[in-house]
Amino acid sequence: MTTYSPTAPARKRPGSGAGGKRGLRPWTLAVGAIIALQGVVIGALALSGYFYLDDLDMSAEAAKHPFGWDYVTLALNDHLTPGLRTFYWLSAHLAPYDNTTTVVVRLLAQAVATGLMAYLLAQLLGPGKAALLGLGLYAFSPLLVPSLLSLSSGVNLLPTHIGILLLLVMHVRYEATRELRYAVFGALGVLLALVFWEKAVLSVGLAPLLTLLYLSSGGVKARFRAVGRSWAAWVAYATPVVVFFAFFVLGDYAKSGSSPKVGDIWNVFWDAWMHSLAPSLFGGPWNWYSAEIIYYSAAHPGPITTVAGQLTAIVLSAVAVRRNGYRALRAWLLPFTVLLGTAVLLAAGRFEYVGVILARNFHYLSELTIPLVLAAVLLLVVPDPAAVAERGRSGLFPGDEEPATRTVSLGLVAVLLVYAVSYGVTVRGFEDRWVENPIRDYLTTGIHDLRTNAADRQIAIYDNTAPPAVATLLQVNRRVSDIFRPIERGLPNAVRWDDASRPLYMFDQGGHLLRARLVEEATSADQPGVFCAHPLRGVGSVTVTLSKRITRPDSFVRLDYLSRLPSTVSIRLADGDRTFAPRRFATPTLTAGKYSSVLLGTPGKAYDRVTVSTTDPDASICLAAKAGHPEPMS
């Protein structure tokens, strides 16, 4: 049985020598066309999307902090992601909630990743039809859809793709030239991937696998000796891994892990293959997980899709064996090795809480696109190590590219058309659900009204929680002050939150900014006929008891006072034996000479009294309190 290799030297055409002048090569033009088509398709889809829950949370967090080491090393859940933190800081400070800018950045990053994939495939297979077929499979893989359309996924995964592909491209060059500089460049790719997504460490193993399987020749012992000879590269690639994870472990970022069970690992591995990876080989999964207010990048294929995915893998394997023998099946080691590591991590992470839905979440599987595409093309076309080394030393075109042919197999055309239709169904299903995102209307309306009302006056806003469709319980930054903080610096007048000295507004469920009032639910227990029912004179404290216990998580206390002199006080809310500070104005300075108020937002806890203390011996203050919730004025 013979092995077809597209890497044999091509016939030279007159005037096409290395020193001859020529324009762009047809293969280069084809690569450019694929990248451009990918940009048009994904760009059009991404522009119809918008920021989502994680994006608001991370933008709000970025707007709180000055840029620096303390900020970029903040834990994100239990992850260390300085690259992601840096992106959101730049976005929040330079282009807050500008979806178009983020789309352009994502498309540029994906163009770089697709270009690197084209170069890697050309290194391995030569700049010909096989490389273009693999590039098309990569550029339009359903595994990339959430990476491109969802900003939070894209910020993690697109730089990760670039880093992994840079590693593999440079590793092929290193194996061909033995020049250490290429191993160093590969190590930089590893570092780039890690600072955006620590799970990229699993893909570092693709480099020694390429050496073992495709960049060396001979028997098993000879191939393992070739791996050993590249020890300098392994040291270079391991250096950023060791440094990153030493900081990760010493920083105590991972807090939710547990010992993975073998059964859980198998469940994740098998479910990811059955319902995510295998269907993606033919453009699946077609259907996505869907709930009323959840837009989740998890595959939800039906039985037909699942079976079709397995048949696709079987047919690929059968054709590979027929063309290249059973040894061609070694290509599956590339994706299966990374998938096994992924299954171990997911089983040790949140599997006990979330289950196999993790195995269908493309956020965790996106970088598997690279080894999966490599496996698909390397099953059908086995590289010649000598030709790969020649291209590594002399460039992709040491002679000439594969000559174009006028005839194209009708079977291949049919396969490409079926894949295109299947991919279109998958993308359309994701996009139909994604564009229903309610955050766009809420933020667009809120930003417009905020700018309009702040244009000619100073206003204050009740800092209640955003609607559930905009901010979930899982978010750290759930209040409207958090969500709108990134745009505050661009407003004509400063906005105050919970400031009773200014006209008070509130955002309604649709993001409209309206004048608001406090609807009373409880008042302080006044004494009839007594002018100052709750006096505070000199050093000491007074407790103002409310007429009923308030349990509403989004309530406010309005503390009314009359102070003879300006005095600084300390305010605590209380419930039983527990006391806690309000969100703001825990130690305000009370103004003198007129009736005034302090508006106290509560941190989602029940309370039944307010305690006010002072260390000012000259203090003379009369106090009263009302508790309730804000509502728009009719």
Helix, strand or coil for residue 347?
Answer: helix
59-116 pLDDT per residue, tens: 999 999 999 999 999 988 888 999 999 999 999 999 999 999 999 999 999 999 999 9
372-416 pLDDT per residue, tens: 999 999 999 999 999 999 888 887 765 544 544 445 577 778 888
**What was the pLDDT predicted at 530?**
67
Which is more confident, 4 or 368?
368
Asked if residue 330 lies in contact with residue 213, where contact means CB atoms within 8 angstroms, the answer is: yes
Asked if residue 505 lies in contact with residue 464, where contact means CB atoms within 8 angstroms, the answer is: no
Which is more confident, 246 or 399?
246
**What was the pLDDT predicted at 114?**
96
Asked if residue 122 lies in contact with residue 25, where contact means CB atoms within 8 angstroms, the answer is: no
Distance CA 19, CA 40 (A): 36
Residue 390 CA, chain-centre distance (Å), reads 39
**What was the pLDDT predicted at 559?**
92
What is the DSSP-derived secondary structure letter of residue 628? E
Average pLDDT over residues 109-137: 94
Distance CA 64, CA 88 (A): 11
**What was the pLDDT predicted at 147?**
81
Give 543's strand partners: 611
The residue type of 375 is A
Q: Which helix H or strand E contains 431, and what residues bound it?
A: helix 410-434
**What was the pLDDT predicted at 458?**
86
Residue ranges of the alpha helices (H) in 454-512? Answer: 480-488
Average pLDDT over residues 161-179: 96
**What was the pLDDT predicted at 257?**
55
Distance CA 128, CA 10 (A): 11
| 154-158 long-range contacts, CB within 8 A, separation 24+ | 154/102, 154/106, 154/109, 155/83, 155/84, 155/87, 155/88, 155/196, 156/81, 156/84, 156/196, 156/197, 156/363, 157/196, 157/197, 157/363, 157/366, 157/367, 158/106, 158/109, 158/110, 158/113
Burial class (CB in 10 A: 0-12, 13-18, 19+), 246: exposed
The residue type of 182 is Y
**What was the pLDDT predicted at 13?**
41
Residue ranges of the alpha helices (H) in 260-368? Answer: 262-272, 278-280, 303-324, 333-348, 351-354
The answer on pLDDT for 7 being more than 90 is: no
Burial class (CB in 10 A: 0-12, 13-18, 19+), 124: buried
Asked if residue 607 lies in contact with residue 496, where contact means CB atoms within 8 angstroms, the answer is: no
Distance CA 440, CA 434 (A): 11
Output the pTM of the full model: 0.89
Quote the mean pLDDT of the chain.
Answer: 87
Distance CA 368, CA 146 (A): 13
- For 165-300, where are the E strands, in sequence order? 288-290, 295-299
Asked if residue 271 lies in contact with residue 281, where contact means CB atoms within 8 angstroms, the answer is: no
Please count the CA atoms within 13 angstroms of the CA of 419 that sit on its side-chain side: 19
**What was the pLDDT predicted at 405?**
47
Written as six digits, the tokens of 204 are: 């570092």
Distance CA 405, CA 387 (A): 22
Q: Which residues contact 198 (CB under 8 A, 6 or more apart)?
A: 79, 80, 81, 244, 245, 248
Which is more confident, 315 or 400?
315
| Lowest-confidence pick of 76-80, 184-188, 207-211, 565-569 | 76-80
Place 3 in a pLDDT band, splitting at 50, 70 and 90: very low
**What was the pLDDT predicted at 21?**
45
Average pLDDT over residues 312-330: 94
Burial class (CB in 10 A: 0-12, 13-18, 19+), 198: buried
Average pLDDT over residues 2-26: 46
The answer on pLDDT for 1 being more than 50 is: no
Q: Cα–Cα–Cα angle for 73, 77, 83, nearest 5°? A: 40
Of 625, 553, 561, 626, the closest CA to residue 588 belongs to 561
Written as six digits, the tokens of 460 are: 């204050």
Q: Cis omega (within 30 of 0) on the bond before 371?
A: no
Burial class (CB in 10 A: 0-12, 13-18, 19+), 494: exposed
Which is more confident, 7 or 153?
153
Asked if residue 543 lies in contact with residue 574, where contact means CB atoms within 8 angstroms, the answer is: yes
**What was the pLDDT predicted at 16?**
40
| 286-294 long-range contacts, CB within 8 A, separation 24+ | 286/422, 286/425, 286/426, 286/429, 287/429, 288/429, 288/430, 288/433, 289/357, 289/360, 290/433, 293/438, 293/468, 293/469
The residue type of 208 is P
Most confident of 13-17, 432-436, 486-490: 486-490
Written as six digits, the tokens of 491 are: 């407003």
The residue type of 501 is S
140-151 pLDDT per residue, tens: 999 998 888 888
What is the DSSP-derived secondary structure letter of residue 277? I
| Lowest-confidence pick of 264-273, 328-337, 410-419, 609-618 | 410-419
CB atoms inside a 10 Å sphere around CB 490: 10
577-620 pLDDT per residue, tens: 899 999 899 999 999 888 899 999 888 889 999 999 999 999 99
Distance CA 163, CA 247 (A): 20
What is the DSSP-derived secondary structure letter of residue 24? -
**What was the pLDDT predicted at 308?**
93
Which CA distances in Å does 629 have to 463, 524, 546, 599, 608? 11, 16, 15, 11, 15
**What was the pLDDT predicted at 593?**
80
**What was the pLDDT predicted at 258?**
64
